[in-house]
Structure 1
C-alpha cells in the first residue's frame, strides 16, 4: 500500500494531486508559522513589545541552523522522489540514511558554535539596548532544541517525498497545539516570562520530532534503512549538498536580511521600528503559508514525474501550481490591504499598569505598522511565479539555476535595495525595497522558467 502511494504521483490528475499534496503542506506550514505567531502574540501582550523585538533578533540565528535540517531534507527528498519515480529504491534508501547522518553532524556542530559565541552574535543581529537581555534568554534555550527541530524538518520533507502529505501535516499540527498550551502555562500561569516562551517553543520542537520518528519506525514508511545506508556516500552527499544548498542559501540570505534590517531600523527608530518589523516578519511567514504550501506540494509531483520522464505532466504541474499559488496570493494580498491595523493590534497588549515608555512604544508601533505592512506586501499577487519557478529547478535536480533564482529576490535585489534606498528615503525606503525586489525577481524567474520549459519539456518536432 505504501508503495502505491508514491506511484500515485505519476498517475492521478495533476489538479487533484496538487490539492492533495498542497493542502496538507499548507496546513503544516500554517501550524509551523503559528508556533512563531503564538509566541509573538503572547509575548507582546504578556511581556511587551521589546520582547517581540528580542524574538525577532533570535529567529534568524535559530532558523538558519534549523534550516540545515530542511535543506538536507529537501535536497535528499529530490533524490528520493526521482529515485522512486525511476524505480530505484536503493538510491532512495541511501539518500535517506545520508540525510540522517548529515543532519546530526551539521546541527550539533553549529549549535555548539552558536552557544560559544552567543554574546557576540546577538548584538550583531540587532540585539542592542533593552533588547539584549530578553534576546539572550530566548536565544540560549531555543538553541538547545534546534537539532531536534533540524531532524523534524528533515524528516517531514522525506515524508512528503513518499507521498504521505497528510501525515506530514499532522506532524506539524502536534507541536503547534503543544506550544499553545505550554505558552499559556509557562508565560501566563507560571509567569516565567521569556524563559517560558523559549521552553514552550523548544518542547514543541521535541513533540514534532517524536511524531516523525514514530512514522519511520512504523509500517507507514516505505523507507526502511539499514546501518549501511548511514555511511556517507560522496556522490549522494554532493547531490544533497548541491540541492539542499539552495534552501540553506535562501535561509542564510534571510538571516543576513534580518541582520541588516534590524541594524538599519535600530538606527532609524531604535527598538520601536524593530518591533514594527517583527510584526511584519511574522506576517511574511504566516500570511503566505498557502502559497508556500502549494510550492511544497508541487515539489514531489514535479520531481517524481520528471524522474519518470512524463514531461507533459511536469508542464501541467508547473502551470497548475502557478495558477493555484497566484489565486491564494491574491486573496492574502486583499486581506492584508484591508485589515493591517487589526492585524498589528493583535501583537500589542493593553495592560493598564504599563509604564509611560511602554505606552509610547505601543502607540508608535500601532501608528507605523499598518502602512508599512501594506508597502511590504504590495507585490504579493505576483510572487507565485517566482516561488514555483525556483522550486521547479530544485525538484528536477538542477542546483545552479535553482540556487540563483532562489537567491534573486533577497540576495540580488532586496539586500542591495535596503542598503541604498533608506539613504534617500529613510524608513519609506526600507519598506519599498520589498515590492521592488518581488517584481524584479519575478521577471527574472519568468524568463528562465519559460526558457527551460521550451528547451526540456516541449517535444521536439521533426520534419
Structure 2
C-alpha cells in the first residue's frame, strides 16, 4: 500500500516535465524496441541474404500487422483502463482488467494464427507476391506466425506494466528481447547461414524470453496490480471497457494492413518487385520515427489518464503541450534527414544499386510533409488516454484510411511510382489539420 501511495502521489503532484521524462523514456525504449525487432531483421536480411529477400519480407507486413492489431486491441485498452481505475482508487477493477486482458490475448491469438497459416499462399498472392518473392515470405511466416503468441504477451503487458507504475521494469523487459534479437540474428543469418528463416527464429526466441520476464511480474503478489484467479473469467463490462478504447489502435492496424495491400499492388504495377522491397526500407525508417514519437506520446498516458480521472485538468493540458512540442521536434528531424541524406539511410539496408536509387527517391518524397505528423500522433494519444475512444479512432483512421487510400488510388495512374510515394505526405497534411480542429473543439468545450 505504501508503494501504491507513492506512485499515485507522484502522478498527482510531481513536476510534469520530470514526470513525463520518467514515463516517456521507458515508453520510448519500448516502442523503439518494437520497431527494432522488424528493422533489425530487415537490415540483416538485406545485407546477408539480398535485395529480393527484403521484397519477400515486405510481403509479410499485411499479415503481421493484422496479427498485431488484435494484440493492440487488448493491450492498449487494458493499459488505459488500468491507469484510469488507479486514478479513481478502484484497485479491484484494475486487477479485473488485467486478468480479462490475459484471457482475451490468448483467445484472439488462437483465433487469428490458425487462419493465417491455412490461407498463407492465397494471402501472399493477393498481397502482390511473385515467384521470386513468395518463397522468401513463406520461409519467414511459417516460423513467425506460430511464434506470434509471444508478441502480445511481451509488448502489450509491458504497456500495462508501465501504466501501473513500473516504467523501468517495462523498459528492462523490452531491452532484453531487443538485445537478444540482434545477437541471434547475427548468429543464425551469418553464423549458421540460415537466411530469412534464421531471422524469424531469432525474433520468436527473443519474444519468448522477454514475455516470460513480463508475465513473471504480474504473477508476483507484491506488484501493484497482479493476476488473481477470479479475474480471468471474462466479464462483459470489463471486456467492453478494454475493447472500446483498444478499438482505435486496432482499427488503425487493420487499416495499415489494408493500406499495405493496396500499396503493394501499386508498387508492383509501377515499379516491380524491387519497388516493393524499397517500400519495406522506407517503412522501416518511417516506423522508427513514428515509434519514437509514439513512445513519447505513450509516456503521457499514465499521467493524463490518472489526472483526468482525478479531475486535474491543468496538469493534463500541460502534459499535452509538452508532448506535442517534443513529438514535432522528432518528426522534424526525420524530415530533415530524409531530405538531406536519403542514400545514407537506405544503405544501412541494402548495397544493391538499383534498390538504393528507388528507395532514396521514395524516402525523400514519402517524408516530404513529415514535420507536423508528431502533433497528430500526440493528439490521437491524448484522446485515447482520457478515454474518448471515438475521437482517437477517427484520427487514427483519418491518416490510414480516410485520406491515404483515396489518394493512393488516384495519384499513381497520373504520376506513376512517384504518385505512390506522394500519397503519404498529402494524407499526413489532411490528418494533421483534422487533429488540430478536433483538439481545438475539445479545449473550447472543456
Relative to the length of structure 1, the TM-score reads: 0.93
Alignment match, 1:181: 183
How far off is 1:220 after superposition? 5.8
Q: How does 1:162-177 map to 2 (within 5 A)?
A: 162-177=164-179
Alignment match, 1:2: 3
Is this contact kept in 1: 2:218–2:227, CA < 8 A?
A: no
Write out per-residue CA displacement over residues 383-440 of structure 1, whole angstroms, 9 at most, x where no aligned residue: 1221111111111111111111111101101111111100111111111111111110
Alignment match, 1:414: 404
Is this contact kept in 1: 2:181–2:202, CA < 8 A?
A: yes
Alignment match, 1:208: 210
Match for 1:194 among 178, 182, 196? 196
Relative to the length of structure 2, the TM-score reads: 0.97
The alignment's C-alpha RMSD in Å is 1.4
Gaps of 5+ in 2: none
Write out per-residue CA displacement over residues 258-300 of structure 1, whole angstroms, 9 at most, x where no aligned residue: 1111111011121110111010011111133321111110112
How far off is 1:224 after superposition? 2.2
Alignment match, 1:60: 62
How far off is 1:90 after superposition? 0.9
How far off is 1:203 after superposition? 1.0
How far off is 1:219 after superposition? 5.4
Is this contact kept in 2: 1:376–1:431, CA < 8 A?
A: yes
Match for 1:372 among 341, 350, 362? 362
Q: How does 1:224-235 map to 2 (within 5 A)?
A: 224-235=226-237
CA distance in 2, matches of 1:402, 1:185: 41
Is this contact kept in 2: 1:64–1:255, CA < 8 A?
A: yes
CA distance in 1, matches of 2:76, 2:444: 26
Deviation >4 Å, runs of 4+ = none
Match for 1:96 among 95, 98, 103? 98
Write out per-residue CA displacement over residues 73-125 of structure 1, whole angstroms, 9 at most, x where no aligned residue: 11111111011001000110111111011111011110011111111112222
State the aligned residue count: 444
Is this contact kept in 1: 2:69–2:250, CA < 8 A?
A: yes
Match for 1:308 among 307, 310, 322? 310
Is this contact kept in 1: 2:82–2:94, CA < 8 A?
A: yes
Alignment match, 1:71: 73
Alignment match, 2:261: 259
How far off is 1:204 after superposition? 1.2
CA distance in 2, matches of 1:437, 1:33: 22
How far off is 1:248 after superposition? 0.7
How far off is 1:6 after superposition? 4.1
Alignment match, 1:278: 280
Alignment match, 1:398: 388
Match for 2:420 among 430, 442, 457? 430
CA distance in 1, matches of 2:222, 2:176: 18
CA distance in 1, matches of 2:330, 2:196: 35
Is this contact kept in 2: 1:302–1:314, CA < 8 A?
A: yes
- Find the residue that maps to 1:163 and give its secondary structure: coil
Alignment match, 1:324: 326
Q: How does 1:115-126 map to 2 (within 5 A)?
A: 115-126=117-128
